[in-house]
Amino acid sequence: MDEERNNEVGNVNISAPEIGMAFINFDVVFNFYKHYAQEIGFAVVKRSTKMTDGKATYVIITCSRHGKMYRTVTNIRPRPSVAKTNCPARINVVINADSSCVISKITLEHNHTLSPYKSRFFSCNRVIDTSVKRQLDLNDRAGIRLNKSFNSIIVEASGYENLIFGKKDAQIEFEKKWKRMIACYALENNQWLSSLYEERHK
């Protein structure tokens, strides 16, 4: 059996999963498969979990395109990025009593086109790290508009293609921070803050 993986798994040259791979806990095996998926060009989701005495003992992690797309009146044309193709790609994970995990079954084949370049924009891969959040917060306190703040982040990353999140993600982070502040101090009806929010959001 392979040696147990460390707590952190890098996303460069990740090897393909193999039966018998062991990990110290589920978070590590999930991150391993997520980084592998990002490098190959697909997204992953935790599809099903078997519980025993209130504890997870068996988990299936699949390609996000697993399953079938059910069309409704309001969902006649699903977006291609989330279209279900009943993709078979998955790993089955056994969780032991000590929380360690072992991959017990693998299907590597996909039935759709993989997109390594676009994979960084899949929802499960878009992450704003702590340092960037701090920079956005400091820029906001300094009165710098979100648009200019995001442009400065692009410059620091040496290009938009090197970011693992988009402007929309930065906007969501900006809005979360404002909503927390408004709720904390009960300032929902403050017109000055409302106008300031609109100005900073430009």
Residue whose entry in the numeric block shows the structure tokens 């009593």: 97
Q: What is the pLDDT of residue 12?
A: 43
Q: Which amino acid is at 147?
A: N
Which pair of structure tokens corresponds to residue 5?
Answer: 């993986």
What is the C-alpha to C-alpha distance for residues 142 and 151, in angstroms, rounded to an integer?
A: 16
Average pLDDT, integer, range 74-78: 50
Q: Kindly indicate the confidence band of residue 23, based on its pLDDT and cuts at 50, 70 and 90.
A: very high
Residues 170-185, mean pLDDT to the nearest whole number: 74
- Note the pLDDT of residue 27: 94
- CA-to-CA separations, 168 to 122, 145, 150, 152, in angstroms, rounded: 13, 14, 10, 15
66 contacts 92 by C-beta, under 8 angstroms? no
pLDDT in tens, 134-153: 887 777 777 788 788 888 88
Of residues 114 and 165, which shows the higher confidence score? 114
